[in-house]
Amino acid sequence: MSEQSVQVHRLEGKTAIVTGASRGIGLAIALRLVAEGAQVCITARNAEALHDAAAQFPKGSVIPLAGKAHDPDHRLEVLNAVAETFGQLDVLVNNAGINPVYGSVMDLDLAAARKITEVNVFGTLAWIQDTYRHVALDFAGRGGTVINVSSVTGQTPAPGIGFYGVTKAAIAHLTRTLAVEMGPKIRVNAVAPAVVKTQFAQALYEGKEAEVAARYPLGRLGNPEDIAATVAFLASSDSAWITGQVINLDGGLLAAGGTA
């Protein structure tokens, strides 16, 4: 991340929660928010990975709390910790998501489909509901901002991760629906990345990275930092008149008629 690309004071005095933040896109988002002046609570399932991630932040800028995004006790623990430590919450970034199986949707076990939906869709909705209802944080009173992480697979089918795309389509429409319901007090937006250099992408496209990158007009895969920069913009007052949007961060892929 270049120093020139960071708006150092843009988020000064703001606090945020970033789920799924132990690595990849979530970690990059949290680091960017802190670089722009915010204090952040990061959450993820793996406590060891989250501890390692927290070591990358300046002292006093981050609270790491491990737990499952769809666990109500974990959500309450995080919200209470943010209230006690920071005294406020301004930004909620829902990045937690899973895709435990690869293959055809027609061959997908329904129990697995329910699990993916529970984490990706219901978990996202539950974080928003619980944050909105947490009296001490007064999220609506502070003019809070919600940013969800969708995917271009929610718009175009992607072989091998079809049902993941179905849940990401749900998140995109959930974003638009809640923006209408929660305005004007709370803004709700989403980013929809294409293939970004993460462990998830490596598992799906191992050995094919150059072939996949060649389909993009920009000629490369995305970096987590590419996504983080847009999330920081949406978290700031620079986007004060933007809500209900799902911003494609796809390197021109969809414009070129490609799929993830």
Residues with catalytic annotation?
164
> Can you give the length of the chain in residues?
260
Expressed in angstroms, the distance from the first to the final Cα of the chain is 25
Q: Which residues, in sequence order, are CB contacts of 181 under 8 Å at separation 6+?
A: none
* Cα gap 169→150, rounded to integer Å: 7
CA distances from residue 24 to 63, 84, 90, 102, 256 in whole angstroms, order as listed: 18, 28, 23, 20, 26
Task: Using the CB atoms, write b or e for 144-166: b if 16+ within 10 Å.
Answer: bbbbbbbbbbbbbebeebbbbbb
By CB atoms closer than 10 A (0-12, 13-18, 19+), residue 122 is middle
Q: How many Å apart are CA 81 and CA 13, to the nearest integer?
A: 17
Other CB atoms within a 10 A radius of the CB of residue 30 amount to 33
